[in-house]
């Protein structure tokens, strides 16, 4: 895509505000889930904020689609992350890479190396995915019959063991939706772990190869 195109300018101008909006969405959702004794007025306010922000994300998605000039199905399949985060707004903070590009483009500062970007993205994504997944599963499991997830701390522990692919099995989801969320988190954990491991291994190999090239002959 040409940097001077209308679509690129739209993304450049909206990426940072939408990222901040996604953090507000996450905060409002966390408040509704964790603040059990919250007065009904505040709960209604959180619900209104969630709905308003979701509509904002949907409008942004519609604008991006229209500016792309593609058919909807083609746009949805070629912009999978955009499509996923508009359906599941809790995952929108995972759009850290476009946010980083927008910030660097605006400041004109040197970019981080590819390896640093991958590791930083994977680390931040793991934190956000773990927190969002713990909230979503806890909301489904806390009152379910036979559930072993009684506190949000239990949910965080479960999310850590799931994303790290350890899976101790001491706390497991028992509801259908909870298991669907767990499956998605398993896939996300494998992908993030693979990205970090692959990038770190590649960086080590390049570092050792560079040191070997710089070593004087005969040593």
Mean pLDDT across 184-205? 75
Same domain, 85 and 144: no
Provide the pLDDT for residue 102: 58
Same domain, 14 and 61: yes
Provide the pLDDT for residue 45: 94
Last residue of a domain, one of 93, 121, 150: 93
Same domain, 120 and 40: no
The answer to whether 12 and 19 are in contact (CB under 8 A) is no
The CATH number of the domain where 187 resides is what?
A: 1.10.287.70
Same domain, 48 and 85: yes
Confidence bin at 3 (pLDDT 50/70/90) = very low
Does the residue 98 lie in any domain? no
Total tally of structural domains belonging to the chain = 2
Q: What is the pTM of this model?
A: 0.77
pLDDT tens for 76-106 read: 999 888 888 888 888 776 776 666 665 555 5
pLDDT tens for 17-47 read: 888 898 899 999 999 999 888 898 999 999 9
Least confident of 52-61, 129-138, 209-218: 209-218
DSSP label of 108: T
Angle (CA) 89-92-97 rounded to 5° is: 170
How many CB atoms lie under 10 A from the CB of residue 137? Answer: 29
Does the residue 106 lie in any domain? no
Gyration radius (Cα) of the chain, Å:
21
Both tokens of residue 34?
């964790």
Compute the mean pLDDT over every residue in the chain, rounded to the nearest whole number: 82
Both tokens of residue 74?
């083609």
Same domain, 201 and 159: yes
Q: Distance of CA 36 to CAs 142, 154, 175, Å?
A: 12, 16, 20
- Higher-scoring residue by pLDDT: 182, 189: 182
pLDDT higher than threshold 60 for residue 1: no
Same domain, 58 and 5: yes
Same domain, 30 and 87: yes
Does the residue 99 lie in any domain? no
Both tokens of residue 59?
């409008």
- Measured distance between the N- and C-terminal CA atoms of the chain, rounded to whole angstroms: 49
Domain that residue 18 falls in: 1-93
Same domain, 46 and 16: yes
Nearest C-alpha neighbor of 62 from the set 79, 42, 49, 48: 79
Last residue of a domain, one of 36, 60, 93: 93
pLDDT tens for 140-166 read: 999 899 999 999 999 999 998 888 877
Same domain, 28 and 79: yes
Same domain, 152 and 88: no
Q: In angstroms, rounded to a whole number, what is the distance separating the alpha carbons of residues 182 and 159?
A: 8
Does the residue 44 lie in any domain? yes
Same domain, 86 and 128: no
Q: In angstroms, rounded to a whole number, what is the distance separating the alpha carbons of residues 48 and 134?
A: 22
Q: In angstroms, rounded to a whole number, what is the distance separating the alpha carbons of residues 50 and 195?
A: 32
- Of the chain, the percentage scoring pLDDT greater than 70 comes to 78
Q: In angstroms, rounded to a whole number, what is the distance separating the alpha carbons of residues 144 and 107?
A: 49
Q: In angstroms, rounded to a whole number, what is the distance separating the alpha carbons of residues 202 and 150?
A: 42
Q: In angstroms, rounded to a whole number, what is the distance separating the alpha carbons of residues 33 and 156?
A: 14
Both tokens of residue 168?
């101790």
DSSP output for 119-179 = HHHHHHHHHHHHHHHHHHHHHHHTTSTT-S--SHHHHHHHHHHHHTT---SSS---SHHHH
Mean pLDDT across 188-193? 77
Same domain, 126 and 72: no
């Amino acid at each position: 895509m040409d940097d001077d195109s209308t679509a690129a300018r739209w993304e450049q101008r909206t990426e940072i505000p939408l990222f901040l909006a996604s953090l507000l969405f996450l905060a409002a959702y966390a408040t509704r889930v964790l603040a059990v004794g919250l007065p009904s007025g505040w709960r209604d306010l959180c619900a209104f904020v969630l709905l308003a922000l979701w509509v904002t994300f949907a409008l942004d998605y519609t604008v991006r689609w229209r500016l792309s000039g593609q058919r909807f199905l083609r746009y949805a399949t070629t912009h999978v992350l955009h499509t996923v985060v508009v359906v599941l707004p809790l995952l929108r903070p995972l759009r850290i890479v476009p946010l980083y590009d927008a910030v660097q483009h605006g400041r004109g500062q040197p970019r981080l190396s590819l390896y640093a970007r991958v590791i930083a993205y994977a680390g931040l994504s793991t934190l956000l995915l773990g927190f969002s997944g713990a909230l979503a599963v806890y909301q489904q499991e806390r009152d379910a019959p036979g559930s072993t997830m009684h506190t949000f701390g239990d949910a965080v522990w479960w999310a850590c063991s799931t994303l790290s692919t350890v899976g101790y099995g001491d706390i497991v989801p028992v509801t259908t939706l909870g298991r669907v969320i767990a499956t998605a988190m398993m896939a996300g954990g494998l992908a993030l772990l693979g990205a970090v491991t692959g990038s770190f291994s590649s960086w080590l190999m390049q570092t050792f190869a560079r040191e070997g090239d710089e070593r004087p002959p005969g040593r």
